[in-house]
């Protein structure tokens, strides 16, 4: 049992301390297994122990907060609550950190008080910044990350995941790996999963609502468009004789913007990058690579968006006489979270007279991995000022953070008590 009541200043102080742990300014840059990340890892472990919990890490560097008598072993059932410890480059102090800190404090509040043990956690990498490896923290926790990834996945400096983990292990932020097909043998079996997170969008703030009950997470499809025209002298080739790959790509960027406007409110279409070849003042561009992404919460709408984007790009190519090749390098299906847990959360919010709404998330989260494995999973959002996230300006008021924490703690107590 926690050795004292959890107070608002516990949450605020931890978030402030974690927010100061950054590898670069402005904002927070806490990349998996880096110096600031390891500082954060140690801070959370020390805080958990001060509150009477055990803090256990796994061979991927995920960290778990649990009552000392709830010993981790495969098959140990738990309600798991947490989020990620890593951040984007020059991100904010709340994305991930709020959910990880809250998971710790909820576990401390409820230790020994529920029939299903409540285990807090912080995942090693969710934002896919250092390794670009999809949700590798959550996938490791659930025993889904394969050992071959330790050698095949590298960061921008060429350091393998396995070597980065050896460094983290030397600093006490990961445990030694036992050989086997997977990076981690799960320490707990999640019977339910909760993730508390800032909204990262403007909906709750604009509606003056305290709680978002998230029952669906958008999926994405990515289109890599290769446009081939003709590289020609910029001074001697008249407009009518040009097959300009960049001008075609520019039209595709505008087509992406138009597609979002033509589609329903849940649609997102983004042109994120363009690479030009040869890329010089005096050459009509001969080739371009354009990166497009569509997102939607409904699978059929996501397919339709991707197909329509594909069609519009090819139409631009035909009209301009440039060759268009499109492949789809990656995708993520939309994820449905637990409607049963969402109903229970909504009932609790009504009972507590908390202004709330059911909503979807346009951003991906650790919770997706749990839900995709059939674990009843729910996310709770709190308002973000101005809807800003992944930026140093990210902010949620201490009052709103505490309200979200209390609500999620009460929900966890209810869900863990029910599951005897
Ligand atoms: Zn996040």
pLDDT of 420 reads: 42
Q: Label residue 2 by pLDDT band (50, 70, 90).
A: low
Q: How far is the CA of 277 from the centre of ligand 1 (A)?
A: 35
Residue 418 pLDDT > 80, yes or no?
no
Q: How far is the CA of 229 from the centre of ligand 1 (A)?
A: 40
pTM over 0.85: yes
Q: How far is the CA of 365 from the centre of ligand 1 (A)?
A: 6
Q: Rounded CA gap, 342 and 227, in Å? A: 45
Tokens 């499809």, located at residue: 221
Q: What is the mean pLDDT of residues 43-65?
A: 98
Token readout for 290 is 């354009």
Residue 238 pLDDT > 60, yes or no?
yes
79 phi/psi in degrees, rounded to 5 = -90, 120
Q: Label residue 419 by pLDDT band (50, 70, 90).
A: very low
Q: Label residue 75 by pLDDT band (50, 70, 90).
A: confident
Q: How far is the CA of 29 from the centre of ligand 1 (A)?
A: 13
89: burial class by Cβ within 10 Å (0-12, 13-18, 19+)?
Answer: middle
pLDDT of 13 reads: 98
Q: pLDDT tens across 145-163, in order?
A: 999 999 999 999 999 999 9
Residue 358 pLDDT > 80, yes or no?
yes
Q: How far is the CA of 95 from the centre of ligand 1 (A)?
A: 5
Q: What is the mean pLDDT of residues 77-96?
A: 97
Q: What percent of the chain has pLDDT over 90?
A: 96
Q: How far is the CA of 282 from the centre of ligand 1 (A)?
A: 44
- Please give the mean pLDDT across all residues of the chain: 96
DSSP per-residue codes, 242-310: ---HHHHHHHHHHHHHHHHHHS-TT-EEEEEEEEEES--TTEE--EEEEEEEEEESSHHHHHHHHHHHH
The full length of the chain comes to 420
Hey, CA dihedral for 136, 141, 142, 147, is it positive or negative? Answer: positive
Q: How far is the CA of 153 from the centre of ligand 1 (A)?
A: 21
Residue 39 pLDDT > 80, yes or no?
yes
pLDDT of 152 reads: 97
Q: How far is the CA of 366 from the centre of ligand 1 (A)?
A: 8
Residue 137 pLDDT > 60, yes or no?
yes
Q: How far is the CA of 404 from the centre of ligand 1 (A)?
A: 16
Q: How far is the CA of 356 from the centre of ligand 1 (A)?
A: 20
Residue 1 pLDDT > 70, yes or no?
no
Q: What is the mean pLDDT of residues 182-205?
A: 97
Residue 44 pLDDT > 70, yes or no?
yes
Q: How far is the CA of 112 from the centre of ligand 1 (A)?
A: 29
What H or E segment, with its residue span, contains residue 404?
Answer: helix 398-418
Q: Label residue 61 by pLDDT band (50, 70, 90).
A: very high
Q: How far is the CA of 197 from the centre of ligand 1 (A)?
A: 7
Q: What percent of the chain has pLDDT over 70?
A: 99
Q: How far is the CA of 363 from the centre of ligand 1 (A)?
A: 8
Distances 242 to 49, 239, 255, 286, 392 between C-alpha atoms, Å: 68, 5, 21, 10, 44
Q: How far is the CA of 84 from the centre of ligand 1 (A)?
A: 6
Q: pLDDT tens across 253-286, in order?
A: 999 999 999 999 999 999 999 999 999 999 999 9
């Amino acid at each position: 049992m926690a050795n004292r009541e959890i107070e608002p200043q516990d949450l605020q102080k931890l978030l402030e301390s974690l927010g100061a742990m950054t590898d670069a300014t402005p904002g927070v840059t806490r990349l998996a297994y880096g110096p600031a990340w390891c500082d954060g890892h140690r801070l959370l472990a020390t805080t958990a122990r001060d509150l009477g919990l055990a803090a256990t890490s796994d061979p991927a560097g995920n960290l778990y907060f649990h009552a000392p008598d709830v010993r981790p072993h495969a098959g140990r059932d738990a309600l798991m609550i947490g989020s990620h410890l890593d951040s984007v480059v020059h991100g904010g102090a709340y994305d991930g950190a709020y959910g990880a800190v809250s998971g710790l404090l909820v576990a401390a509040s409820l230790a020994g008080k529920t029939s299903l043990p409540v285990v807090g956690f912080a995942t090693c990498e969710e934002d896919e910044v250092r390794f670009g490896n999809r949700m590798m923290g959550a996938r490791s926790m659930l025993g889904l990350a394969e050992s071959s990834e330790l050698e095949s996945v590298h960061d921008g400096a060429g350091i393998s995941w396995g070597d980065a983990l050896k460094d983290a292990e030397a600093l006490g932020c990961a445990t030694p790996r036992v050989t086997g097909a997977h990076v981690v043998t799960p320490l707990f079996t999640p019977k339910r999963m909760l993730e508390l997170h800032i909204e990262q969008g403007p909906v709750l703030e604009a509606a003056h609502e305290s709680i978002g009950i998230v029952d669906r997470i958008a999926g994405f499809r990515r289109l890599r468009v290769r446009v081939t025209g003709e590289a020609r002298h910029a001074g001697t080739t008249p407009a009518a004789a040009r097959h300009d790959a960049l001008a075609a790509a520019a039209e595709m960027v505008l087509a992406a913007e138009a597609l979002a406007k033509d589609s329903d409110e849940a649609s997102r279409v983004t042109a994120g990058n363009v690479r030009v070849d040869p890329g010089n003042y005096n050459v009509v561009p001969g080739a371009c690579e354009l990166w497009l992404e569509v997102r939607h919460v409904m699978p059929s709408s996501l397919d339709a968006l991707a197909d329509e984007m594909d069609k519009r790009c090819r139409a631009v190519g035909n009209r301009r006489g440039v060759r268009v090749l499109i492949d789809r390098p990656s995708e993520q299906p939309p994820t449905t979270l637990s409607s049963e847990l969402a109903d229970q959360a909504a009932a609790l919010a009504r009972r507590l007279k908390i202004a709330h709404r059911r909503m979807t998330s346009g951003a991906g989260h650790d919770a997706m991995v749990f839900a995709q494995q059939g674990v009843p999973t729910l996310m709770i959002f709190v308002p973000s000022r101005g809807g800003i996230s992944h930026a140093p300006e990210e902010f949620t008021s201490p009052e709103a953070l505490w309200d979200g924490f209390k609500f999620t703690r009460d929900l966890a107590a209810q869900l863990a008590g029910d599951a005897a």
